[in-house]
Amino acid sequence: MGKYTVRVATGDLFLAGSPNQVQLWLVGEHGEADLGKHLRPVWGKCRLVLQVDLSAGPGNPRRGLFPLLPLGAGPQDYLPARGHWWGSWKDGLILPIAGKRQPDLPRDERFLEDKDLDFSVSLAKALKDMAIKGTLDFINCVKRLEDFKKIFPRGKTALAERVHDSWKNDAFFGYQFLNGANPMLLRRSSRLPARLVLPPGMEDLKTQLEKELQAGWISEVDFSLLDGVKPNVIIFKQQYVAAPLVMLKLQPDGRLLPMVIQLQPPRYGCPPPLLFLPSDPPMAWLLAKTWVRSSDFQLHQLQSHLLRGHLIAEVIAVATMRSLPSLHPIYKLLIPHFRYTMAINTLARSCLVSEGGIFDLVVSTGSGGHVDILQRATGCLTYRSLCPPDDLADRGLLGVKSSLYGQDAIRLWGIISRYVEGMVGLFYKSDQAMKDDLELQAWCREMTETGLQMAQDRGFPISLESRAQLCHFVTMCIFTCTGQHASNHLGQLDWYSWIPNGPCTMRKPPPISKDVTEKDIVDSLPNLHQAHMQKTVTDFLGRRQPVMVALGQHEEKYFSGPEPQAVLRQFREELAAMDKEIDVRNAVLDLPYEYLRPSMVENSVTI
């Protein structure tokens, strides 16, 4: 005779538990037995439900974990009961979860008590600080660049201090496109951009550019996505937006140096736009670079961070919750990477990029321009751009030794990929078995056609034809929710604490001459009130999270059995090895890079 012991448990968080009794059935190969209703799950306890003796074959006892389902529900029947409905925010954007506030979300998607308390208290403190100090901002003013030190945070990071000291340096300017807050825009040039119109008298520059181009040393950062975006008006004062082009040379020693900056594209019937060079008067060259930094701030926050990090992760999460039952292996593989994502995105839409939100109050692309940018960025978002091996290859940056982001992204992608392949191999023994999984195919189609709004013309799949394709797709999902977001989130406090290095707005139009003074730069940068708001929001969102689960370190055990646990253990060991190797590498670097260090990469998008 064999003995079956059944225990029921819930989590130990506040208000965890259930008022419902648990109905049990024991289902075997030749029949099933109704074991009746039994004790309710109790908060923080594992309660013995019953012990029953049935005939069973010999062998070692094994432990299995089973989720509790609503009474009478089959795997697909209970999916709508989760309450994950598609919503809408703005036309031309990918879809969010339905709901305008946290209470509108399914209960399991809201912040739990510890996260909610930390978020609320920290936000209240930040707002209080801004209200108290902000009253003085309208009295005080910035007269010199060093006056921005008035709001430079006392608890600044070592790298933020380095930014303050080195932001004017050309090599430091170029480094940020490789390893800064936004490493997603740089690409190697295959030809000189059509918009780069060289006026008479610059033949030597053209010859130099063509020579370096042939040698493969020329790269570019093109902000044309900002061209024509309507700038904000803040407290009745016009703000300004530019769409620069930067041409850079990758030196043999790995430094990336700017060669020429064009602040606006050429216009038909107008003289060629002014080109700024490193040999220009220092203040003119610095103002041109500052304009580039402000433009980079806009695309970083909207295209790289919000869209490619937050909003794509939300689509993955909602499609998964709608299409895959909790018993499905891909659901179990992905669910740890959705924690708090819908909650934080709902808060972003209601406070950060909403009408009257932070972007409208302080950012040059607020009051509608930011939505225009998101729509444009959505239209050119490709599947390949979300997969670092493809993205870096397309941008010509594979193998660039000074691209620490690129090296770490490829390494982390490989670790995640092997983890996914290990899990998928346990549950799908052939490509045909995977193709025949209707729930999986529905999930893929739901994500691409509905959540991403018919994105198949940009390379996103609507069906999965092989286990290799499934593994690549799931790896993209996990990397997006973890490494992709971390690489664009963690650098904010470092790179934007010193306001001139990443100004949220510009108060004067782009220069039309090279007769520039320090006062011209100061008058173009955010005023003290705007700078204080930028600093407050950066501090709040960029701080290290006290309630943080690192990549792969979730405590929930969604898979039972020794085989999945072995795959997870191998995943964690590889992450730990990468962490140690980055630590050793960073110890000898002038500028350490740690935004993709596994112990700092959060397991989901939570802030």
Query: What is the DSSP code string of 183-209?
Result: TTS-EE-SS--TT----TT-HHHHHHH
pLDDT at position 138 is 53
What three-state secondary structure class fits 86?
Answer: strand
pLDDT at position 200 is 87
What does R_g of the chain's alpha carbons equal in angstroms? 27
Q: Is residue 593 within 8 Å of 586, Cβ to Cβ?
A: yes
Calculate what percentage of the chain has a pLDDT beyond 90: 77
Summarised one tens digit per residue, pLDDT across range 489-542 is 999 999 999 999 999 999 999 999 999 999 999 999 999 999 999 999 998 888
Q: Are strands 237-238 and 275-276 parallel, antiparallel or unpaired?
A: unpaired
Summarised one tens digit per residue, pLDDT across range 86-143 is 999 999 999 999 999 999 999 999 998 888 888 888 878 777 776 656 555 555 688 9
Q: Both tokens of residue 503? A: 């100004």
Q: How many CA atoms lie within 13 A of 68 on its CB side?
A: 16
Weakest-pLDDT range from 59-63, 95-99, 460-464: 59-63
pLDDT at position 60 is 56
> Average pLDDT of 550-576?
96
What three-state secondary structure class fits 110?
Answer: coil
pLDDT at position 354 is 95
Task: Give the Cα separation of 389 and 387 in Å (integer).
Answer: 6
Higher pLDDT, 24 or 349: 349
How far, in Å, are 109, 119, 250, 481 from residue 340 at the CA level? 6, 12, 40, 11
Helices marked H in 324-403: 329-334, 341-347, 358-362, 369-379, 388-394
pLDDT band at 2; cut points 50, 70, 90: low
For residue 38, pLDDT over 70 is answered with no
pTM value > 0.85? yes
Q: Supply the mean pLDDT for the chain.
A: 90
For residue 14, pLDDT over 60 is answered with no
For residue 456, pLDDT over 70 is answered with yes
pLDDT at position 346 is 97
pLDDT at position 514 is 97
Task: Give the Cα separation of 528 and 525 in Å (integer).
Answer: 9
